[in-house]
Structure 1
């Protein structure tokens, strides 16, 4: 061992190495630039350089949306797990277990009730991190339970969609959630309560063909990918080149398929105004 190494070791034994956090920076998926994590989180997980809206889960949504101290999670309905005993490269039960460990959620749809600028609301959030936000029995049951909670509280039901579509591991049982959620939406309308949808990146497949496009008011976050099926499939079917902004929030708004595109930092105030307009003040606490 050289004298220089001996000196280094002696110094290290006396003065411990400074611990440097490895999570000080976040690389934006939109512009590729490094953003200070604290600034990124304070900006609601939106890049301060390019305004790219990064995907977030239920916990962050509820924290940004509800008035402090008012959020109360609704219990997740229990459903039969792995009803088809499905297995691909691994058992479906193992995939569920891994998704729950990664996200901390029971399934891909989480609901809560609380106040949005003093207005009562029940909010459901799909978590794309949980098996791509796929729609299975648990998502359908969670949606229906959210509707029932909104009716009981005489409050609007707001959902944030983020999904790749139906959950193939549940087959026809997954597809049956499309009519079930449609009936639940009609229950809301029979009760005279609004149903507001906020489309987030990405929303596609059976979810896009069902409750994600049945809102009384359709909102989307900027530059979200919104589609029933993939761009390449459509181009091969119609044998035409699609516009670059096809299947984006802005394209849907410009062609009259949704009502507005709202930045995340403006969503809370926008939803509060909509509740006032649609409920005529009845949802105020």
Structure 2
């Protein structure tokens, strides 16, 4: 994990709790008091964010000892002890909520991703589940990491990663009197040699134009299962096929069964439920 991308985030999160001190711990816990605390997974799930939690505790207490008992990506049962942290009691207690907030959300993302991947594998051995850029502002690096820990894959990290021509781009091109073929060729001419180009469509009658444009990937957005099946047949492996829009855990396997290569699920990050992890004194 690249901590230079998240250390500032950790420090800001700690400041939310400690900018004006800790009115409870500052008065009740002695400075020279030490303790052991145990992180416990309260429900079945996939753990993620272990190194982040460690970093949170060590930001307040650099002498803290972190003993992981599992690793990110492990599928675990409820009541599993996932780590022990030892150090200055006042610092560990003050770091508790921040460490748990990170781990609970990241583990929620990993758990939800694992559920989607498991459903897809029932009908399609190769189809990938990916997240999107619909991430919590400032948390994209961590949330995309959590998707990978759940067995998923990452889509674009930023707008610079791949050219993606979406509905608004197409509308603005039409306003200029320009075609999709023109847009794809312009990107080929002016972009790096490794550039991949994806085009979004939401109707079956748009698919042939994308094939003719010689794009690399086509995104079938909010299409019916019948239209997706027809699109996959028409494309005939000439492009990678991504499906997106309205993807739920109940619908993901039927979508995968149409033969698409990728299913992107914004809900992995914008609608995820954090899972319950506690920090116990024993």
Q: TM-score when scaled to structure 2?
A: 0.26
User: Using CA pairs below 8 Å that are at least 6 residues apart, which structure has the higher relative contact order?
Assistant: 2
